[in-house]
Structure 1
Amino acid sequence: MKKLFKEYGVSPFTPLKGLFIQGPIFVSFFLAITNMAEKVPSFKHGGASWFIDQATPDALYIFPVLTALSFLITVECNMQEGMEGNPVAGTVKNVSRGLAVLTVPFTMGFPKAIFCYWVTSNLFSRMYGLVLKVPGVKKTSGIPEIPVAAPTNPPQSPFSIFPALKQATTATNGPSSMPDEPSKHSNKKLSSSAVISQRLRSLEKQVNGRKKNKK
């Protein structure tokens, strides 16, 4: 692993660089929009549709649900890219799913203006995730292609067991076109066992006769 990290110039903390860059920007936008929603008069009548007043929470909870869904779609589509084979990837993805679900009850009291920025940011993340998957963009950006490993045990049809059972029965019972062969094999086994038993009896008689002569 160390050789691979050195070869490609990465480390286990490389994926966190995006959080360190995007995190402060998101927090600064969040604080700025919250302050503007309280102090800028145009936020109270500058919206559209059901969010005309962007300084108040969404009474219909449409924005919190849209934010959670857009974040969940981004997690499902972009989170696994480049993390194949990493045992931590599944845990990180499950935690992100939990955060997406908890977004609705924890953010339902935020002003609508924050959700306008938040949903737009999530959609933008989804868009550049799709762009980075284009082969031409990968080649230009120097992103290596990740090979997809074939499954070691390919799924079998439930009906595939019947030919196997048929082969097993034919192997044990023999082909149906030759019914006399099993009887021949059994006759041979019986004749050989009879010969062996006769030899054993003759040997026992000889041993008993020698014992009587010695007496």
Structure 2
Amino acid sequence: MNQARLVGDSMEFARLSNESHTLFKRHGVNPIKAMLAPMAQIPLFLTFFLTLRRMANYPVESLKEGGFSWVVDLSIPDPFLVLPVVTALSLWVTLELSFRSGLNPNQTPIFKYGARIVPLVTLAFTYDFPAAILMYWCTNNALSILQVAALKQPAVRTFLNIPQIKVNPARLPVNQKSFKKHFKETMENAKINKMMEERKTIDEITFKKAGIGPLKKTFKEDPTR
């Protein structure tokens, strides 16, 4: 599909796109359904986040002495920034393990590099969060790491009746392209898609004019006379 898009072969691109949709439908695969479980966790996370922030802002008395070691008061930010760093690192580990769990080795690295930026952005926004929020976040990330690591074990997958991950590297070519090259190809693909859409719109307008407009003279002499 990428090759057809690069050369501007809209017919081949449409044929391959239709084949992929047919394949998904035959095997009951819906990419949108894969996002339902992560999206369902967002309201729960926001509820904990907003609740803990309000508890820290009041503050709830038990938070003032409910910490440990250098973070005794959980209603204020970590003075040594240890919790923000640990939160960012645990988030990075979670994302890395998730990306390596049965993924196609030919997967474009743009998503991987994008996911690696998320922990840095998280660190920039969470350094002044109350320690109570970061304690919850660290705990949540630690449990996520344990969950992902456990679900990679064949014995666990067999016990839970989850199909084993099967990836045949001999049949799936490993993508060796750099992030810069992938980004350049992505921008070129977007440009080609835009040109194809514009060309399609122009063809539709031209076809409509040819059907309802006056007869356009394309000959020097009338062949019917």
Shorter-chain TM-score tier = 0.5 to 0.7
Letter in 2 for 1:2: H
Does residue 59 in structure 1 map to residue 83 in structure 2?
Answer: no
Q: How many residues align?
A: 153
Q: What does residue 113 of structure 2 align with?
A: 94
Structure 2 CA distance for partners of 1:142 and 1:7, relative to 1, 3 Å: farther
Moved more, 134-143 or 51-60: 134-143
Letter in 1 for 2:127: M
Match of 2:100, SS state, is coil
Which one of 25, 31, 38 corresponds to residue 19 of structure 1?
38
State the Cα deviation string for residues 26-64 of structure 1 (Å, max 9, x = none).
111100111111231111111110110001011111001
- What is the correspondence of 1:157-196 to structure 2 with a 5 Å cutoff? none
Match of 1:15, SS state, is helix
CA apart distance, 1:6: 3.2
Letter in 1 for 2:45: F
**Which has the larger helix fraction?**
1
Q: What's the % identity of the aligned pairs?
A: 35
Which one of 102, 105, 128 corresponds to residue 82 of structure 1?
102
Q: What does residue 185 of structure 1 align with?
A: none
Does residue 138 in structure 1 map to residue 193 in structure 2?
Answer: no
**Residue ranges of structure 2 left out of the alignment (5+ in a row):** 1-19, 174-225
Letter in 2 for 1:38: N
Structure 1: distance between partners of 2:70 and 2:172: 53
Letter in 2 for 1:23: I
Pairwise CA RMSD:
2.4
Q: Is the 8 A contact 2:150 2:156 kept in 1?
A: yes
State the Cα deviation string for residues 74-112 of structure 1 (Å, max 9, x = none).
111222323315645x22221111011122221111000
After the TM superposition, list the runs of 4 or more consecutive aligned residues in structure 1 that deviate by more than 6 angstroms.
none
- What is the correspondence of 1:33-52 to structure 2 with a 5 Å cutoff? 33-39=52-58, 40-52=60-72
Does residue 9 in structure 1 map to residue 19 in structure 2?
Answer: no
Higher relative contact order (CA 8 A, sep 6+): 2
Structure 2 CA distance for partners of 1:46 and 1:115, relative to 1, 3 Å: same
Q: What does residue 69 of structure 1 align with?
A: 89
Letter in 1 for 2:78: D
Structure 2 CA distance for partners of 1:10 and 1:144, relative to 1, 3 Å: farther
Structure 2: distance between partners of 1:27 and 1:65: 21
Q: Is the 8 A contact 2:106 2:172 kept in 1?
A: no
Q: Is the 8 A contact 2:105 2:169 kept in 1?
A: no
Match of 1:2, SS state, is helix
Q: What does residue 109 of structure 1 align with?
A: 128
What is the TM-score when the length of structure 2 is the normalising length? Answer: 0.61
Q: What does residue 5 of structure 2 align with?
A: none
Structure 2 CA distance for partners of 1:151 and 1:4, relative to 1, 3 Å: closer
Structure 2: distance between partners of 1:27 and 1:63: 19
